[in-house]
Amino acid sequence: MITTAEVLEHRGNLKTTTPVKADHISKCKTFAIMLEMWWNLKCRKVKPIFTFCYYSTNRHSIIHSLRFIGPLFFCQICPCRLPVPKLEDTIRRYLAAQKPLLDDGQFTTTEKIAQDFQNGVGKQLHEELVAQDKANKHTSYISGPWFDMYLSARDSVVLNFNPFMSFNPDPKAGYNEQLVRSTNMVCSAVRFMKTLRAGLLEPEVFHLNPAKSDTDSFKNFIRWVPSSLSWYGAYMVNAYPLDMSQYYRLFNSTRIPKRGRDELLTDDKGRHLLVMRKGNMYVFDVVDRDGNLVKPAEIRSHLKYILSDSTPAPSLPLGILTSENRDVWAGLREKLVATGNAEALGLVDSALFCLCLDEESMRDHIHISHNMLHGDGCNRWYDKSFSIIIAKDGQAAINFEHSWGDGVAVLRFQNEVFKDTTEKPLVHPDSAPAAVDSASAVRRLQFHLDRELESGIKKAKENFDSAVSKLTIAAIEFKKGGKEQLKKSKLSPDAVAQLSFQMAFLRQYGQTAATYESCSTAAFKHGRTETIRPATVHTKRCSHAFVREPGKHSVEELRAMLNECSKYHGQLTKEAAMGV
């Protein structure tokens, strides 16, 4: 699996442009005048006459206000809609992806079927898709089907859909203590949420020419441009605002199981946090009635109260139900509501997010991966938009439900939280405890279970244990070179990583396999992801040269093959990112 971080890193190497439509020309001309004004200001070093400040009654509530450069969602007025690829281009790419997987006879048959489709029913289907896209200009043609794909899937979200992203340890050892780190992460997460909802979070921008666009002078200028023109300004300096509509679902959101197709629930009135420990579930407010972050010392006291709670682990942990087949879970949830648990479930669903405090310390990276990807199923609520998991030794990760959004939004959140907790922690190892009655502030949720629910929980645990027992995770750390060395050789690190997968599979199984790599299309309104097909005729030729024909080719020939693989993979990545 390729991580979102890798996709983001490689996306930064793209060089591409997007044509401006004729009906945007007048706005671009208007902006050209404004751009000239900005350039004059920059060249003459004239200081702007405006200043910006933000006042909050709670100094802990907002982060990043000093980084405010413009309206958060100015990318949402961006005229860039995800393009519908031409049918002939889709067929061409499909056949190119099939070429390394088939023998000559199979490919000839596939080619004929593809051409018949292109000249027959495919043409009609494509016309219908284009018409549907034109009738729904408020969104992308892929958005609806994408939600349907995720929400209609009946398989367990565990292993099949929910990914995880690990945090690095805090550089200051004392801040990795479970109570300290969990308190700081909760506080920073709430600060991020408030910054987001106040419209002060710096927009996500894809800079093709950072020297021009990722500068203080341009940012100071663009913030004063009317929102209807701001995207054009960014476009003219090769900066592309990324779609941030998914951020809405980050907080107070849960996937609700329904028969046939699940639903997404977001209730931004919730002010409480859901905490899980030993399978028990607790809630307490982390935002006060004025909308400010509860005092960090109080949050620390509440979490300490939970960590010291002597309540034993339940023999029938409710969280395991979220790992079940979705139709099975939907039926059991209906039963939970019918037996008087609606109010407690509502608190789970509307919580800002879930904090999972685990009892184990992590042994190594493999143990971390297993724990953060699935754990034991008892101390998780996999349906929450995201959960921050913190082990006994302070190792931390985010596990997130995938239907509402992709890794771009979660990765941004994770990076901001890590930066805030390590650079501006609000509690410290020697922080004094708050004088607060945590026993009154913290509520442990209790659920009424009948025999059918008890049986369902037991069965869910059996299914969960069976599924995770089949999962093997192994890793190797290669220390003889890295991305910087590859870049010096003008090779794409991602292309080389993908090529190494192809070589390894060929060495172990003797063949080339169809391969999937995800690429974000967040440069477009309501974009999700596109697929890169890394197995190509170039990787097949290069893999065979290294694996099957050692010593047959000169160094120059092998280098040329590597260059061709890198160049072609870069082209595939560019096309995927641009949705064409």
Q: Which pLDDT does position 78 carry in this prediction?
A: 54
Instruction: Kindly report, residue by residue over 357-370, the tens digit of the pLDDT.
Output: 999 999 999 999 99
**Looking at the structure, do residues 402 and 435 belong to the same domain, yes or no?**
yes
**With 70 as the cut, is the pLDDT of residue 31 above it?**
no
The whole-angstrom separation of Cα 409 and Cα 78 is: 18
71 inside domain: no
229 inside domain: yes
The widest CA-to-CA distance across the chain, in whole angstroms, is 78
**Looking at the structure, do residues 218 and 299 belong to the same domain, yes or no?**
no
**54 pLDDT band (50/70/90 cuts)?**
very low
Phi, psi angles (nearest 5°) of residue 302: -65, -40
Instruction: Kindly report, residue by residue over 469-518, the tens digit of the pLDDT.
Output: 999 999 988 888 899 999 999 999 999 999 999 999 999 999 999 999 99
Instruction: Kindly report, residue by residue over 381-423, the tens digit of the pLDDT.
Output: 999 999 999 999 999 999 999 999 999 999 999 999 999 999 9
1 inside domain: no
**Looking at the structure, do residues 288 and 389 belong to the same domain, yes or no?**
yes
369 inside domain: yes
Q: How many CA atoms lie within 13 A of 563 on its CB side?
A: 9
The string of DSSP codes covering 341-402 is IHHHHHHHHHSS-EEEE-SPPP-SHHHHHHHHHTTTSSS--TTBSEEEEE-TTS-EEEEE-S
Q: Which pLDDT does position 151 carry in this prediction?
A: 98
**With 70 as the cut, is the pLDDT of residue 13 above it?**
no
In which domain, by residue range, is 118 found?
A: 87-138
Q: Which of 469, 495, 515 is the last residue of a domain?
A: 469
377 inside domain: yes
Number of Cβ within 10 Å of residue 275's Cβ equals 23
**Looking at the structure, do residues 325 and 404 belong to the same domain, yes or no?**
yes
78 inside domain: no
Instruction: Kindly report, residue by residue over 265-314, the tens digit of the pLDDT.
Output: 999 999 999 999 999 999 999 999 999 999 999 999 999 999 999 999 99
Torsion of CA 263, 266, 270, 275, to 10 degrees: 60
**Looking at the structure, do residues 492 and 549 belong to the same domain, yes or no?**
yes
Q: Which residues have a catalytic role annotated?
A: 402
Closest listed residue to residue 266, CA positions, set 380, 385, 157: 385
CB 192 within 8 A of CB 388: no
CATH number at residue 209: 1.20.1280.180
Record the pTM.
Answer: 0.85
Q: What percent of the chain has pLDDT over 70?
A: 85
**Looking at the structure, do residues 232 and 252 belong to the same domain, yes or no?**
no
Q: Which pLDDT does position 227 carry in this prediction?
A: 64
- Mean pLDDT, residues 95-121 taken together: 97
Three-state DSSP class for residue 265: strand
**Looking at the structure, do residues 428 and 523 belong to the same domain, yes or no?**
no
Q: In DSSP terms, which residues pair with 530 in a beta bridge?
A: 519
Radius of gyration of the chain (CA): 26
**Looking at the structure, do residues 291 and 428 belong to the same domain, yes or no?**
yes
CB 333 within 8 A of CB 254: no
- How much is the mean pLDDT over the chain? 87
32 inside domain: no
**Looking at the structure, do residues 299 and 381 belong to the same domain, yes or no?**
yes
Total domain count for the chain?
Answer: 4
The whole-angstrom separation of Cα 346 and Cα 71 is: 33
**With 80 as the cut, is the pLDDT of residue 39 above it?**
no
Q: Which pLDDT does position 239 carry in this prediction?
A: 78
The whole-angstrom separation of Cα 12 and Cα 484 is: 14
424 inside domain: yes
CATH number at residue 354: 3.30.559.70
CATH number at residue 561: 3.30.559.10
